[in-house]
C-alpha cells in the first residue's frame, strides 16, 4: 500500500492552492490521518463486531472527516451540530455511532476487501481544512482502491476550481446534502455560519449543484433530500421533478430525530406519508411522471396521482425498487451506497431497504402505502 503524504509537505498538483497551514496538535485524531466511519462500514470492514438485523451484501463504505473543533455548521436536525450539547467526539450522526479509525489502516482494509466493495464516500464537514484533507484522503484511496468514490460535499468550503480538483483526482460522483427542499425551510433550519470563506446559504448550495453538474456530467451528481423537516408533499415532488429534469439524482432520507438537537422532539413523518413520497419519487425518476401528474390539497398534501390505471400504480409499487435505499451506484449500476440505519434506528423496521424487499416486505409496504383513493 502506498502511504499517505504528509499534509504539511504536500506539493501543489493543480491550480488550487492550499493557503492554510494546519497547526496539528500532537496526539489529536483529526483528518486527514483519522476519519470516522459509519457503524455499518465498521462492521463490514471488521473494525467492529456486530450483525445487521438481516444478512445482505454490504459494500458501501462511508467516511466522515473528523476535527477536534467539529463541524462549524449548526443545522437544527443534525447530530453533529455545533450547538448540540456534548463533546464533538461523542456526537452521533444520523443517530448512530461513527467510530474513529486511522486513514491508512482503513484504506488498507478497503484494499484487501475491494472485491466486496460497491461505493466509497467521503463526507466533508464545514471546516476550513475540509477541502485540503478531502483531497489528501481521496489521493490515498484512489491510489489503492478501484471502487468508485463519491464526495458528499460541504458547499461553504467549495468553488468551481475545487470541484474540478476533485474530478482531476479521480472522484466519480458528487453528493450535495441539500436536505431542506425549500429556501425558507433551508434558511430556518441551517444557520448561516461563516466557514471556509463563505456562509451556509441556499444560493451557494445551488451554485455548487450547478457547477458540479457541469463538471461531472449527467447522473453524476445527487442531492440528498429529507422528508419530515417541515416541507409539504408538493415541495418534495416539485424538487424531484426539478432535479430529474437536470439529470441530477434526488436521494431520499427520512428525518430521524437526533436526541438533544434543536429538532430532537419533532416526530418523524408517518409511515404512510413516507411510503407515498418514496413511490412518487420513483414515478418521477423511473416512469417520467411530472409534478403536474400529481394532485395536492391547498396545504400541499398529496391527494392523488394521475395514472392511466390503478394497476399501473400497483405494479410500480410491487417491483419494490421505490422502497430501496437511494444512493450512488456500484461499479455496474447496482445499489452501491446503501447506508443501513440512515433513516431509521437499528431497532426499528426498515424505512428504506438496503436490498430488494421480499414478498413479505411488499405486503407490509402495500398496507402502509394506503394506495386506495390516490388514483385519479
Ligand atoms: S448517496 Fe451515499 S455515496 Fe452518494 S453522496 Fe450520498 S452518502 Fe455519499
State which ligand 1 atom lies nearest to the alpha carbon of 224. 6
State which ligand 1 atom lies nearest to the alpha carbon of 337. 2
Lowest mean pLDDT among 259-268, 317-326, 337-346, 362-371: 337-346
DSSP state of 96: B
What three-state secondary structure class fits 109?
Answer: helix
Ligand 1 centroid, distance to 60 Cα (angstroms): 9
pLDDT at residue 23 above 60? no
* 93 membership: H or E segment, kind and range: none
Q: At 125, give phi and psi (nearest 5°).
A: -125, 165
Higher pLDDT, 16 or 280: 280
Q: What is the pLDDT of residues 54-112, one digit of tens each?
A: 666 789 999 999 999 888 778 888 877 666 666 655 555 544 678 999 999 999 999 99
Query: What was the pLDDT predicted at 93?
Result: 54
**Could you count the other beta carbons within 10 Å of the beta carbon of residue 350?**
20
Strands 34-37 and 249-254: unpaired
Ligand 1 centroid, distance to 150 Cα (angstroms): 6
Ligand 1 centroid, distance to 231 Cα (angstroms): 22
pLDDT band at 293 (very low <50, low <70, confident <90, very high): very high
Q: What is the C-alpha to C-alpha distance for residues 321 and 333, in angstroms, rounded to an integer?
A: 14
Cβ of 328 closer than 6 Å to ligand 1, yes or no, is yes
Cβ of 73 closer than 6 Å to ligand 1, yes or no, is no
The mean pLDDT of 141-166, rounded to a whole number, is: 97
State which ligand 1 atom lies nearest to the alpha carbon of 119. 3
- HEC profile for 271-307? HHHHHHHHHHHHHHHHCCCCHHHEEECCCCCEEEECC
Asked if residues 357 and 324 have their Cβ atoms less than 8 Å apart, the reply is yes
C-alpha closest to that of 338 among 157, 190, 121 = 121
Nearest CA to ligand 1 atom 5: 175
Query: What was the pLDDT predicted at 315?
Result: 94
Ligand 1 centroid, distance to 365 Cα (angstroms): 25
Neighbouring-strand partners of residue 120: 61, 149
Q: What is the C-alpha to C-alpha distance for residues 209 and 222, in angstroms, rounded to an integer?
A: 8
Distances from the Cα of 103 to the Cαs of 13, 59, 288, in angstroms? 21, 18, 42
CA angle 346, 281, 149 (to 5 degrees): 65
Pocket test for ligand 1, best of 339, 341, 343, 352 (most atoms within 8 A of CB): 339
Q: Quote the percentage of the chain above a pLDDT of 90.
A: 65
Higher pLDDT, 166 or 256: 166
Cβ of 256 closer than 6 Å to ligand 1, yes or no, is no
Higher pLDDT, 282 or 88: 282
pLDDT at residue 340 above 80? no
Cβ of 330 closer than 6 Å to ligand 1, yes or no, is no
What three-state secondary structure class fits 120?
Answer: strand
Higher pLDDT, 224 or 261: 224
The mean pLDDT of 136-153, rounded to a whole number, is: 98
Q: What is the C-alpha to C-alpha distance for residues 189 and 344, in angstroms, rounded to an integer?
A: 21
Query: What was the pLDDT predicted at 85?
Result: 61
Cβ of 152 closer than 6 Å to ligand 1, yes or no, is yes
β strands within 173-329, DSSP E: 173-179, 221-227, 249-254, 294-296, 302-305
The conformational region for residue 230 under phi > 0 = left, psi -120 to 50 = alpha, else beta, is left
Q: What is the C-alpha to C-alpha distance for residues 70 and 66, in angstroms, rounded to an integer?
A: 7
Pocket test for ligand 1, best of 124, 137, 152 (most atoms within 8 A of CB): 152
Distances from the Cα of 231 to the Cαs of 189, 235, 371, in angstroms? 12, 6, 21
Ligand 1 centroid, distance to 222 Cα (angstroms): 8
Cβ of 208 closer than 6 Å to ligand 1, yes or no, is no
- Cα dihedral value 141, 207, 256, 232, nearest 10: -150
Cβ of 107 closer than 6 Å to ligand 1, yes or no, is no
Question: Which CATH superfamily, name and number, covers 34-369?
Answer: Aldolase class I (3.20.20.70)
The mean pLDDT of 33-53, rounded to a whole number, is: 86
The mean pLDDT of 188-200, rounded to a whole number, is: 57
Strands 100-102 and 149-153: unpaired
C-alpha closest to that of 103 among 206, 187, 209, 5 = 5
Q: What is the C-alpha to C-alpha distance for residues 115 and 113, in angstroms, rounded to an integer?
A: 6
Query: What was the pLDDT predicted at 39?
Result: 87
Q: What is the C-alpha to C-alpha distance for residues 20 and 165, in angstroms, rounded to an integer?
A: 17
pLDDT at residue 133 above 90? yes
* Separation of CA 153 from chain center: 9
pLDDT at residue 195 above 60? no
Cβ of 209 closer than 6 Å to ligand 1, yes or no, is no
C-alpha closest to that of 303 among 330, 324, 273 = 273
If you average pLDDT over every residue of the chain, what do you get? 86
**Could you count the other beta carbons within 10 Å of the beta carbon of residue 151?**
27
Nearest CA to ligand 1 atom 1: 327
Query: What was the pLDDT predicted at 58?
Result: 80
Asked if residues 54 and 341 have their Cβ atoms less than 8 Å apart, the reply is no
Domain ranges of the chain: 34-369
Query: What was the pLDDT predicted at 259?
Result: 83
Q: Which residue has the cell 455511532?
A: 97
Query: What was the pLDDT predicted at 197?
Result: 36
Amino acid at each position: 500500500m502506498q502511504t499517505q503524504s504528509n499534509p504539511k509537505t504536500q506539493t501543489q498538483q493543480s491550480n488550487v492552492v492550499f493557503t492554510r497551514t494546519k497547526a496539528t496538535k500532537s496526539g489529536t485524531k483529526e483528518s486527514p490521518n483519522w476519519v470516522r466511519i459509519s457503524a455499518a462500514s465498521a462492521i463490514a470492514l471488521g473494525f467492529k463486531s456486530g450483525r445487521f438485523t438481516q444478512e445482505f451484501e454490504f459494500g458501501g463504505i462511508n467516511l466522515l472527516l473528523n476535527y477536534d473543533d467539529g463541524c462549524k455548521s449548526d443545522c437544527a436536525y443534525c447530530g453533529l451540530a455545533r450547538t448540540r450539547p456534548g463533546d464533538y467526539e461523542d456526537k452521533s450522526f444520523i443517530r448512530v455511532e461513527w467510530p474513529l479509525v486511522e486513514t491508512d489502516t482503513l484504506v488498507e482494509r478497503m484494499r484487501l476487501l475491494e472485491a466486496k466493495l460497491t461505493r466509497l464516500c467521503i463526507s466533508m464537514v464545514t471546516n476550513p481544512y475540509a477541502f485540503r484533507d478531502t483531497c489528501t484522503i481521496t489521493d490515498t484511496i484512489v491510489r489503492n482502491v478501484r471502487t468508485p468514490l463519491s464526495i458528499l460535499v460541504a458547499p461553504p468550503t467549495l468553488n468551481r476550481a475545487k470541484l474540478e480538483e476533485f474530478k482531476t483526482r479521480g472522484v466519480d460522483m458528487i453528493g450535495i446534502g441539500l436536505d431542506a427542499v425549500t429556501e425558507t425551510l433551508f434558511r430556518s433550519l441551517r444557520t448561516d455560519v461563516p466557514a471556509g470563506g463563505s456562509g451556509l446559504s441556499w444560493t451557494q448550495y445551488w451554485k455548487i449543484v450547478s457547477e458540479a453538474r457541469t463538471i461531472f456530467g449527467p447522473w453524476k451528481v445527487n442531492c440528498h433530500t429529507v422528508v419530515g423537516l417541515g416541507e409539504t408533499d408538493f415541495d418534495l415532488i416539485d424538487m424531484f421533478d426539478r432535479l430529474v429534469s437536470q439529470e441530477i439524482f434526488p436521494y431520499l432520507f427520512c428525518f430521524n430525530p437526533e436526541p438533544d438537537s434543536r429538532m430532537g422532539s419533532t416526530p418523524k413523518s408517518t409511515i404512510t406519508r413516507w411510503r407515498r413520497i418514496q413511490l412518487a419519487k420513483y414515478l418521477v425518476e423511473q416512469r417520467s411522471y411530472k409534478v403536474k401528474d400529481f394532485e395536492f390539497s391547498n396545504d400541499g398534501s398529496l391527494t392523488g396521482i394521475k395514472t392511466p390505471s390503478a394497476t399501473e400504480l400497483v405494479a410500480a409499487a410491487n417491483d419494490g425498487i421505490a422502497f430501496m435505499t437511494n444512493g450512488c451506484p456500484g461499479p455496474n449500476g447496482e445499489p452501491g451506497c446503501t447506508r443501513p440505519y440512515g433513516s431509521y434506528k437499528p431497532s426499528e423496521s426498515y424505512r428504506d431497504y438496503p436490498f430488494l424487499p421480499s414478498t413479505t416486505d411488499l405486503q407490509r409496504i402495500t398496507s402502509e402505502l394506503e394506495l386506495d383513493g390516490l388514483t385519479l
